[in-house]
Structures are given as C-alpha cells and as structure tokens.
Chains A and B, each alone.
Chain A
C-alpha cells in the first residue's frame, strides 16, 4: 500500500491552505500566529512554489526564481517571518545591460538611474525627476486607463532606448508588457528603484527550510505530496459555502480554504462552475493568464571559477525592445543570474541560471522529439551567448539542462504553465472570491502587481487579514448566541 501522506491529520481545521508558494506559506504563517488551526497542503515533494531550488549530482544547487527583489522584502520578511531570515537579505550591486542600443552597469536604484538617464541618455533632469516622483505616487486603485507604453511616450517620446532600459528588467520580474496598465510597471519599478536589487544569502533552499521550521513552531500542520482534488461546498441558509476539501482522496473539513493555486484553477477546476454565478464564471474565464518562462541551468565543475561579470545581466541582440519579441520562441533576449560562491557562504561553487521569457503555446504542441530538440537549442544558444562574456566557459560546465513552461506546469500545476500569474483583471476576481463563495479565499500571483517575491508575500498577508477578520466575526457571533 502507498504511504499515507496525510497520516495523523485531524478531521477539522480552521483553515486549509492549498499550495506552498510564498503567498500560501506567508498566509499560513500569519494565520497561525493569529491563533488559528492551519493545515497547509503541497502537491510537490518540496515547498516554495516557484521560490524553490533543485540539486543535481556533482554538488550543483540551482535556484529557480530570478534572484532579485526590492528592499521592501527586508521589512515584509521581518514582520511576517523573522528577523533572522530578514538578516540574510543582501544587495546585488552588479546589474548590467548589454544590447545593441546600450551597455551599462548600474546598482538599479533611483540615484544611479537618474545619473545614467541624464548623463548617458541625455534626458533633461527635470523630466527624470518628474517621472520618478509621479511613479512613486501611483496607487493600484487609481483606475487610470493608460498603458505602460503610453506612459513612456508621454515622458520620453521617441526614446525606445530609454523605454528598453526601463521596461526590459521589469518584464523579467513580472511578465508585464508595454500594453499592460501603467500601474503594473509603476509599482514594481518604484519598489526596485527605492534602494536597488536584493537577494537571500544562502539561497532559496535555506530560506524555505527556515520558513518551514517557523511554520512548525507556530503550529501549522504542513504536508507535502498531497494533491487537493476538490474544494467542497454545501448550501447552508440558502447559500453555498466552503465546508472542506478532498485531498489524496480524503475529506478534510474546514471553515476556510485559502487557495494559493492559480485563480482560474481555483474557481474552474478545484471548486467548479456550479458553485458560482454564471457572471462570475464568465469573468473568471475571461482572465488572461500571463506569459511564462524558460530557464537554462549551467553547473560549473568543482574547482573551476568564473570571473565576476555582474549579478544580473540583461542581454539581448534585438535592435529595439519589443514585448512580443521578448516572449518569442526564438528570442535572443536572456537574463543571466550569476551565482558566485558568496551566494551560499561556505560553498566554493559557481552556477549560472539563464531566464528567457516564453509562451506556453509555443512549447505545448511539440512532439517529444521536437521538444527535446528545442530544449537542446535553448541550452546551446544560452552557452554561445554566455561565451561572449566568459570566452572559456563551455569547458567549465559540468551540468546543463533546460526548463520550459511545461516544466513549470508540471511542478506548480499553474494554469497554462504561467510563471507570472494573471493579467491585471485577475486581481478583481481573486478579491471578489469570498463574496461569491463564503469561506473561499485566494492569494496567489494575480494582477501582475501581486506577483513576484514581494507582491505574493504581501498579498498573502492582505488575504490572511480578511480571513482573520471573518473568523473573528464568526466567533463573536457564536459567543453572542451562547
């Protein structure tokens, strides 16, 4: 008989969390600290969602998510996790751009960008200052219809080089395009510009293990290898509400489900259309999932070293920036995440993770032979590109492999293998969920602004607050009756 991954769990929890991405993990931790009984279920054998890692023989450790986030992470990690984890956050100072329009080295903060925009790009100082100040004042509820492309045209007309400098890194951070609402660029860009780019010293493995330890200390029951098949609902007082989940074939009762799965999966697959109004189902179906990513992982042989060529290197051979070209199957745009030994103190190893934006449909309709060939092409092109900056790198590579949108789909179960959640309209569906079906909440990558390391953590807290509020009201009502 197969091992029972749910062995010893209780019959009822206040909250069942589906999925252990950063939103699910953080939501679970905050709710447990509020005194609720929480069960967290993850289908994979490892926690973290896309904030994860894998190991390969030869001592290689590869981090998955682009290892750069804004300084706001220090505060969020300290408040919702611990000072200890926050203390391991360090700045990545070497951000580079190499493309046919310009080559620059930057610390990727407002001060340095202001200097470069004025000196190198010859933009008037007043325009640069106004751009930064206006962006800082953006709010997600402002309801402006302007797109990022239109906004760039307003501040920097005819300057596709400036547009590239501003847009390209954010497209890798959250999958947004020139056609998305300006706010999806503005909030994330402002967060980065505040103080630059940061990462966890020690790697994703250390981070997630520390988080798991804290979850346990706070009383969260964490189970891996558990697939949630269904969110159970029941009609009470003439209204449907959440009463539990079916996971690995077993029914677990709960008052609240916090889904860290994709929003479309949560509504259309896990819960089912029958539990919602036709209007809400239509709204959910209309939500566009965001694009996805490919990655190439290059492990350097023990004993070999690489020169310091920067921490995050944004490269492209495209003559100008184009959101369509960036996700093209044959794009020449790649970001090199360089992991030097100081990434994991005590280690003497080097790895390179190449991130390439991609479309699921380009990868999903290939024969097994085509799929293998396309993956090999990605690896070959990535190494050839890296050789321009490190000419002898090929001989130092011991391990190479590629991941595609299909890999992401397999390990995260994300709808259409997306690595960046949904477009802007997904946020409204996510936030309306508990109004549509009492007891059902969603905290996952949605709306572009609730994406990425910081966005998902903070969204997990925002939704945890709503759940805590609802459960507190329920308790007050029960006490009043008694």
Chain B
C-alpha cells in the first residue's frame, strides 16, 4: 500500500464520521482539526474505525500521530504493510 492509498482510506473513514464536511480540498500537511470541524470524539471514532475496518490498533499515546492527513499516512502505512 502506498501513502496515497492510506490517505484515501483515512478520508473514507472521515467522510462517514463527518458527512457534512467537504473533504475534496483537504491540505495534507495542515492539521485536520484546523480545517474540519473535528473534535476529540471524532478522532476516537477514527481509531475505532481503523480497528474495525482494517484491524489496525492505534495506542492512546500515538493519537497525536493522526493530526494531519500526511502524519496519518506516515504513521499508518507501515502498520498496513505489517499486516499484509
């Protein structure tokens, strides 16, 4: 899986959690919280969906790694690679 594939999977999850948000213009390097109406519960939902859909566990100490789309890809792509 490439980092771009990983970003797509994360966007898929966010689009279900925040269906009213326009996700077409997300800037990957900017914090998600600064461009979308996401709160701490939404990030918890992203963690739950990663586990449910992809069997990926994000420990609480690593929640900060999910701040931007770029950091998500950086952190999650190796986890996807480990799985397959």
The chain A residues found within 8 Å of chain B, CB to CB, are 30, 34-35, 72, 75-76, 79, 458, 461-462, 465, 468-469, 472-473
Contact = CB atoms under 8 A, between A and B. Distances in A.
A34 B52 contact: yes
Contacts of B47: 465
Contacts of B55: 472
B51 A472 contact: yes
Given A79-B17, A469-B57, A461 B41 contact: yes
B41 A469 contact: no
A453 B52 CA distance: 26
Contact of A465 (B17, B39, B48): B48
A75 B17 CA distance: 9
Interface residues of B, number: 11
Contacts of B45: 79
Interface in B41-68: 41, 44-45, 47-48, 51-52, 55, 57
Nearest to B41: A458
Contacts of A34: 48, 52
Contacts of A465: 44, 47-48
B35 to A, nearest CB: 17
Contacts of B41: 75-76, 79, 458, 461-462
Given A34-B52, A79-B17, A473 B57 contact: yes
B18 to A, nearest CB: 8
Most buried by A among B17, B41, B52: B41
Contacts of B48: 30, 34, 465, 468
A79 B55 CA distance: 20
Nearest to A466: B60
B52 A461 contact: no
Given A30-B48, A461-B41, 9 more contacts: A34-B52, A72-B39, A76-B41, A79-B17, A79-B41, A461-B44, A468-B48, A472-B57, A473-B57
B56 to A, nearest CB: 10
Contacts of A79: 17, 41, 45
A186 B29 CA distance: 31
Contacts of B52: 34-35, 468
Contacts of B44: 461-462, 465
